[in-house]
């Protein structure tokens, strides 16, 4: 009898599941799974202890729906502008943050020109004497492109002008 117990003990030293008792990892995994399932259930169908809790939940729920509605109906160009402003300012943004920023500055974001309408190609610059600038060699003329768009910094509206010069050699 003692010999058989010693044999079982020695053969099971390297195993985690001795005598079918289960491993600690499996128990922890089941606990985590059940905790997550309970958390999801509480989120989907919460239990309330008072009427005030019910009213507070409904207020938060309706606010969440309103945020979803605004977020989902924002034009893509406006959504990009609002999100980029928030990310540049904070480093990150939530759906709620985007909607709050948009609501606070709706007139600004709705009246920004689209990125396609701000580009215009102008002919090469000329000298003050009226003709082409002096070129010692007969190199072909380059191209100059100007773009302009409005932006808001610190609550003030500014125009951003960009000049792109392309030369050919």
Contact 143, 121 (CB under 8 A): yes
Q: pLDDT value at position 35?
A: 84
d(CA 139, CA 40) in angstroms, rounded, equals: 70
Does residue 119 share a domain with residue 83? no
pTM of full prediction above 0.85:
no
Task: Judge whether 133 lies within some domain.
Answer: no
In the chain (169 residues long), the average pLDDT of successive 10-residue segments reads 47 50 66 81 87 93 93 94 93 93 92 67 45 47 73 82 71
Q: pLDDT value at position 105?
A: 92
DSSP 5-41: HHHHHHHTTT-SSGGG---HHHHHHHHHHHHHHHHHH
Does residue 104 share a domain with residue 119? no
Q: pLDDT value at position 37?
A: 83
Task: Judge whether 107 lies within some domain.
Answer: yes
Task: Judge whether 165 lies within some domain.
Answer: yes
Task: Judge whether 83 lies within some domain.
Answer: yes
Q: pLDDT value at position 101?
A: 93
Domain that includes residue 44, residue range: 22-73
Q: Structurally, how many domains does the chain consist of? A: 3
Does residue 79 share a domain with residue 69? no
Task: Judge whether 9 lies within some domain.
Answer: no
Does residue 67 share a domain with residue 41? yes
Task: Judge whether 135 lies within some domain.
Answer: no
Task: Judge whether 96 lies within some domain.
Answer: yes
Task: Judge whether 137 lies within some domain.
Answer: no
């Amino acid at each position: 009898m003692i010999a058989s117990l010693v044999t079982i003990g020695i053969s099971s030293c390297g195993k985690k599941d001795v005598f079918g008792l289960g491993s600690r990892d499996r128990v922890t995994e089941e606990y985590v799974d059940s905790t997550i399932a309970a958390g999801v259930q509480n989120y989907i169908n919460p239990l309330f202890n008072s009427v005030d809790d019910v009213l507070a939940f409904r207020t938060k729920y309706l606010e969440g729906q309103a945020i979803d509605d605004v977020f989902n109906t924002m034009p893509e160009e406006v959504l990009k502008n609002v999100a980029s402003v928030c990310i540049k300012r904070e480093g990150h943004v939530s759906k709620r943050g985007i909607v709050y920023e948009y609501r606070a500055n709706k007139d600004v974001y709705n009246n920004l020109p689209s990125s396609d309408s701000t580009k215009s190609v102008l002919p090469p610059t000329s000298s003050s004497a009226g003709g082409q600038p002096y070129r010692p060699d007969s190199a072909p003329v380059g191209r100059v492109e100007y773009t302009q768009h409005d932006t808001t910094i610190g609550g003030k509206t500014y125009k951003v002008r960009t000049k792109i010069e392309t030369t050919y050699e």
